[in-house]
Amino acid sequence: MLHHAEYGDPAGVPVVHFHGTPGSRLEGGALDAAARTAGVRLIVPDRPGMGRSPHVPGRRLQDWPATFTQLLDGLGVERVGVLAWSGGGPYAVAVLAHAPERVRSVGLLAPAGLLPRVPWANRLMPHVYMPVVSLAARARDWGPTAALAQYRMRRARTRLEVPERTPLAPSAAAVLADSWREGFRHGPAGPIRDELVINEDWGALVPRARAAVDQGVPVRLWHGRRDRTVAHRHSRRLASALGAYLVDSQEGDHAGALLVSGPEALAFLS
């Protein structure tokens, strides 16, 4: 069973959030205030090998819909909205394709790319850089983790001209830093596996996901053109393949998809 945390309104509309890579359930803290405003009960599970969920060696994207269904059954929830940021995106497509009866609507925030062909480097590099990131992120006083999160949040605000009164979590940078650290609780094996999973060739899921959209499951994407982590063109390709609407931000970056567009997506899902 996946370990999870809940944010927002306990009596609100249930929405399950799939965190980024690396990341953990703590990422939901950045959306806690927005979830309360939207009347959303935000449920954020740790994926296997990250946070408090045990590692599952060799897991594949095709395993996720059954895991997702078990989570909902354990919570006693029949249907939910699904929100996903970055590396959580392919997992959202997987449940839309294979468990559409449990999904009410889907919001994708700068989802990991739908690639016409997966480069060999995408499968090799996680084994190289994730162990290094793990050692750094798990150091309790490693300042660059928090500094990077603070920089990303500040850049998201500045580029989108978000006024300080906008109800983003005041500690959003610290929340993201803690989420990344927590993602390496068990070491690099879980994040490495997660990178390999999201870099699988998951294009075959798209026709089934498109069928769910055609049958009435609303899907919306948010992606900024200044995103240097996941290219904007990937969301254009995915939105077209799914028949979904893309909210196209000229100035938004990768962090802005979560911190700035996330509240709008929660309102859509509610």
Per-residue tens of pLDDT for the chain, all 270 residues: 799 999 999 999 999 999 999 899 999 999 999 999 999 999 999 999 999 999 999 999 999 999 999 999 999 999 999 999 999 999 999 999 999 999 999 999 999 987 655 554 555 555 555 555 555 555 544 444 444 444 444 554 444 344 444 444 556 778 888 898 899 898 888 998 998 899 888 989 999 999 999 999 999 999 999 998 899 999 999 999 999 999 998 878 888 899 989 999 999 999
Task: Indicate the SS3 state at residue 223.
Answer: strand
Q: Are 80 and 103 in contact (CB under 8 A)?
A: yes
How many residues in the chain?
Answer: 270
**Which pLDDT does position 126 carry in this prediction?**
54
**Which pLDDT does position 228 carry in this prediction?**
87
Question: Which pTM value belongs to this model?
Answer: 0.85
CA dist 212 → 87, 95, 97, 151 (Å) = 21, 10, 7, 38
Domain with 55 in it: 4-269
Count of structural domains, the chain: 1
HSE-CB at 80 with a 13 A cutoff on CA atoms is 25
Kindly report the CATH number assigned to the domain that includes residue 162. Answer: 3.40.50.1820
Task: Name which of 120, 59, 56 is nearest 90 in CA terms.
Answer: 59
Residues 6+ apart with CB under 8 A from 22: 50, 87, 130, 133, 137, 180, 183, 184, 191, 194
Dist. CA 59–CA 203, nearest whole Å: 18
Taken in order 176, 123, 244, 9, the sign of the CA dihedral is negative
Q: Are 81 and 16 in contact (CB under 8 A)?
A: yes
Q: Are 219 and 242 in contact (CB under 8 A)?
A: yes
Q: Show the tokens assigned to 233.
A: 């063109």
**Which pLDDT does position 139 carry in this prediction?**
54
C-alpha 111, offset from chain centre = 7
Place of tokens 């567009």: 261
Tell me whether strands 4-8 and 40-45 are parallel, antiparallel or unpaired.
antiparallel
Q: Are 31 and 7 in contact (CB under 8 A)?
A: yes
**Which pLDDT does position 125 carry in this prediction?**
57
Using N-to-C axis directions, what is the helix angle for 172-183 and 143-160, rounded to 10°? 130
Dist. CA 25–CA 5, nearest whole Å: 6
**Which pLDDT does position 252 carry in this prediction?**
84
**Which pLDDT does position 163 carry in this prediction?**
40
Dist. CA 44–CA 35, nearest whole Å: 12
Dist. CA 1–CA 67, nearest whole Å: 8
